[in-house]
Amino acid sequence: MSPVANADPSPHGNDIAIVIADLQQQFGARPALCGIDGTVRRGCITGLVGPDGAGKTTLIRIIAGLLKPSSGTVQVEGLDPIVDSVKLHEIVGYMPQKFGLYEDLTVLENLRLYADLRNVTGTAREASFKRLLQFTDLARFTERLAGKLSGGMRQKLGLACTLLGTPKVLLLDEPSVGVDPISRRELWHMVSELAGAGMAVVWSTSYLDEAELCSDVLLMHAGKLEYAGVPRALMESMRGRSIQLRHIEGNQRHVLQRALRQPEVIDGVIQGAALRLVLRRAGERPDLAGLDAGASAQMVDVEPRFEDAFIDILGGGPGGDSVLAEHTREARLPAGVDPLAVISAKALTRRFGDFIATDHVEFSVKRGEIFGLLGPNGAGKSTIFKMMCGLLAPSEGTASVMGIDLKKSASRARRELGYMAQKFALYGNLTVAQNLDFFSGIYGLQGHAQRTMIQSMIKVFALTPFLSTQANELPLGFKQRLALSCSIMHQPPLLFLDEPTSGVDPITRREFWTHINGLVDKGVTVMVTTHFMDEAEYCDRIGLVYHGRIIASGTPDELKESARTSAAENVTMEEAFIRLVQRNDVAAQEAA
């Protein structure tokens, strides 16, 4: 683990807008912030980066004057947020995580409210509105109720309201969460422009790739500041330790497992057909032969990522061997079920009145495959997902799993699938033990078999210290583990995962996927939706959903390939996503 590098963040000392000194915050017995020191400059975006539970929101709320710190000081443009709160509110724009727009008010009414509250009147108001509406591309929607906007549009409106009154300091708490890559990029552009004009911006995020784009970064984990400085500096410290293993033959998941067992490797993830590995020490690579990746396999140096550094600070990623898989039996396919179409959708259509949410979608998933559904907000991913789980009936076409048509024998089909809902739908008031008891019970486990299964889940996911904790008191990582265990206790051959790792820190995310890979090894078929482009790389095949249709499908590498504009270009998954969607828009316009 490399020492915390606190590089001097800026050459212009008098450009500092916010100074944080030895900030501590306790909520009852729980320490939320442990001695944070940092500065935020004007004219650039400072990233407040870290996984869920790191303390980002607490810190931002203290800066905004909404919480009183237990000890330590904060100065915002020379003001104390608690004592000078009236003046502070006039110069600070704050967009909370759950930016509450008034859903019953139209876009324009929301803007007018905040304009009045921030004393933006007369011609200044007209000018601001025009600028902001153009900026956010919401000019066409001024009369639409805020509740009817899509996720991306809501975030933009939230940002617009926050920008009224031209604040000197802008605090954004996870503005890009749950927003698709295209909208995320647009938000970023908007905010960069503002920063360039002299605003001090704090952008909090759990997306580590966004951290790379910030001028300064405050990296937090479990209430502590792990790194403060220029992201590039941190990434540079990892130089020579990031490699990619290409041209793998055979099962790449198995190769990953083998790689992770090597002492030289501290972290590894799948990237399309390749593997990305992080080494313990620069230049010390594992023995290629030992990885058994085929004759043409190659190890190549690649540019280090911010995430690599973060994993390094945390002590490295988890191993590749899944204890869960050891406890899972082989997923058998009943007779008569086509192993190439364990999950299948044919001409799947769903209408809500006049609106066509899903338009003749076709795909099939093989046994032991991980199939991903990607797409911008409102594209129709969840509608398709719900139809494949039997939660929604198709208007036309068929959705079938294990050869059973979900319209006809839904109950029988549902026995074969495990479902992990978005935001981990657990019974918050029930303890971990009670949740496990419940979910195993309704899936038909009883008596000795039930007890044994619950015990093994507790062992596999290390839930013992939390058995009597209520589910909504659990840290996010454990909630996710509990949710996963509750969905697989009946040993389903099919697993449906709806945004399974949103907000979770990188280590827990890797652990999760190690388990999934282990299950897939035993023949379980997985269908997953995600916003997180890196996760898209873990899938065997992807369907890109847009406007209710699948506009592209194939392996992650195939999609990246099709988005390439020149032969030598290295396209990321995110870039491929954006380009394919834009291409589709252009094609649709031309056809019109």
Partner 1 sequence: MTMLDVEIGNIKLRRLLALCRKESAQIVRDPSSILIAFVLPVILLLIFGFGINLDANTVRIGLVVEDTGAEARRFAQVLEGSRYFDVVHDSSRQHARTLLAAGEIRGMVVIASDFSAKVRQGKGAAAIQVLTDGAEPNTANFLGSYMEGAWQTWLGQRSIDAGQTPPPLAELSARYWFNPSTVSRNFLLPGSISVIMTIIGALLTSLVIAREWERGTMESLLATPVSRMELLLSKILPYYVLGIFAMALCVVMATLIIGVPYRGSLLALFVVGSLFLGSSLGLGLFLSTTMRNQLMAAQAALTAAFLPATMLSGYVFEISSMPWPVQLASYFIPARYFVSALQTLFQAGDIWPILAINAAFLLASSIFWLGLTVLKFGRRLDD
Partner 2 sequence: MFHALVTLIRKELIALVSTRMGRIMLVTPVLLQLALFPFAATLEVKNSTLAIYNQDGGAASIELAQRLAAAKAFPVIINLYSEKDLREVIDRQRALLVVRIPSDFSRKLARGEVGILQALIDGRRSNSAQIAYGYAAQVVQAYSAERLGQTLPASLVVQNLYNPNLEYQWFVLPSLVAIITTVGCLMITAISVAREREEGTFDQLLVSPLTPAYIMAGKAIPGILVAIVQGSLIILAAVLLYRVPLSGSLLVLYGSMMCYGFALSGCGLFISSFCSSQQQAFLGSFGFMTPAVILSGYMAPVENMPLILRGISAIDPLTHFIIVVKGIFLKGYGLEQAWPHLWPLLAIGIVNMSLAYVLFKKRSGQ
**Site residues for partner 1 per CB under 8 A:** 61, 64-68, 82, 85-86, 89-90, 92-105, 109, 112-114, 116-119, 121, 161
Q: Does 429 bind partner 2 (CB under 8 A)?
A: yes
Name the minimum Å distance from CB 424 to partner 1.
20
User: Using CB distances below 5 to 8 A depending on partner kind, what does residue 67 bind out of partner 1, partner 2, none?
Assistant: partner 1
Q: How many CB atoms lie within 10 A of CB 70?
A: 14
One of 93, 375, 390, 503 touching partner 2 (CB under 8 A): 390
Q: Listing from the earlier edge strand, what are the strands of the sheet with 298-301?
A: 265-271, 274-279, 242-246, 298-301
Name the minimum Å distance from CB 358 to partner 2.
13
One of 98, 130, 148, 415 touching partner 2 (CB under 8 A): 415
One of 107, 417, 432, 550 touching partner 2 (CB under 8 A): 417
User: Using CB distances below 5 to 8 A depending on partner kind, what does residue 89 bind out of partner 2, partner 1, none?
Assistant: partner 1
Name the minimum Å distance from CB 487 to partner 2.
8
Beta strands in 1-135 (DSSP E): 16-27, 30-41, 44-49, 71-76, 92-95
Name the minimum Å distance from CB 577 to partner 2.
27
574 sits in which H/E element: helix 573-591
Name the minimum Å distance from CB 376 to partner 2.
22
Q: How far apart are CA 220 and CA 31, in angstroms?
A: 14
User: Using CB distances below 5 to 8 A depending on partner kind, what does residue 415 bind out of partner 2, partner 1, none?
Assistant: partner 2
One of 442, 467, 586, 588 touching partner 2 (CB under 8 A): 442
User: For the chain, what's the residue count?
Assistant: 592
One of 288, 300, 347, 425 touching partner 2 (CB under 8 A): 425
Tell me the backbone φ, ψ of residue 253, rounded to 5 degrees: -65, -40
Strands 169-173 and 242-246: unpaired
Q: How far apart are CA 458 and CA 474, in angstroms?
A: 15
195 sits in which H/E element: helix 181-196
| Piece in contact with partner 2 (CB under 8 A), picked from 205-213, 386-394, 454-462, 568-576 | 386-394
Q: How far apart are CA 110 and CA 102, in angstroms?
A: 7
End-to-end CA distance of the chain: 57
Copy the structure tokens of residue 553. Answer: 């499908």
In DSSP terms, 405 is beta-bridged to: 400
- Which CB sits closer to partner 2, 351 or 564? 351
Q: Does 512 bind partner 2 (CB under 8 A)?
A: no
Position 166: which residue type? T
Name the minimum Å distance from CB 117 to partner 1.
4
User: Using CB distances below 5 to 8 A depending on partner kind, what does residue 117 bind out of partner 1, partner 2, none?
Assistant: partner 1
User: Using CB distances below 5 to 8 A depending on partner kind, what does residue 65 bind out of partner 1, partner 2, none?
Assistant: partner 1
Q: Does 411 bind partner 2 (CB under 8 A)?
A: yes
Q: Does 332 bind partner 2 (CB under 8 A)?
A: no
Nearest to 220 by CA among 314, 315, 149, 134: 314
One of 1, 117, 428, 569 touching partner 2 (CB under 8 A): 428
Name the minimum Å distance from CB 186 to partner 2.
29
- Which CB sits closer to partner 1, 93 or 320? 93
Residue 323 half-sphere exposure, CB side, CA atoms within 13 Å? 12
- Which CB sits closer to partner 2, 422 or 555? 422
One of 430, 458, 476, 551 touching partner 2 (CB under 8 A): 430
Q: How far apart are CA 118 and CA 115, in angstroms?
A: 5
Q: How many residues bind partner 2 (CB under 8 A)?
A: 32
Name the minimum Å distance from CB 150 to partner 1.
18
Name the minimum Å distance from CB 138 to partner 1.
18
Copy the structure tokens of residue 186. Answer: 């647009």
Nearest to 93 by CA among 190, 213, 212, 235: 190
Q: How far apart are CA 46 and CA 417, in angstroms?
A: 44
Q: Does 443 bind partner 2 (CB under 8 A)?
A: yes
Tell me the backbone φ, ψ of residue 320, rounded to 5 degrees: -100, 0
User: Using CB distances below 5 to 8 A depending on partner kind, what does residue 4 bind out of partner 2, partner 1, none?
Assistant: none
Beta strands in 168-291 (DSSP E): 169-173, 200-205, 216-221, 224-229, 242-246, 265-271, 274-279
Name the minimum Å distance from CB 452 to partner 2.
16
Q: How far apart are CA 357 and CA 338, in angstroms?
A: 28
Name the minimum Å distance from CB 149 to partner 2.
19
Q: Listing from the earlier edge strand, what are the strands of the sheet with 30-41?
A: 30-41, 16-27, 71-76
Binding-site ranges for partner 2 (CB under 8 A): 386, 389-393, 410-412, 414-415, 417, 419, 421-423, 425-430, 434, 437-439, 441-444, 446, 470
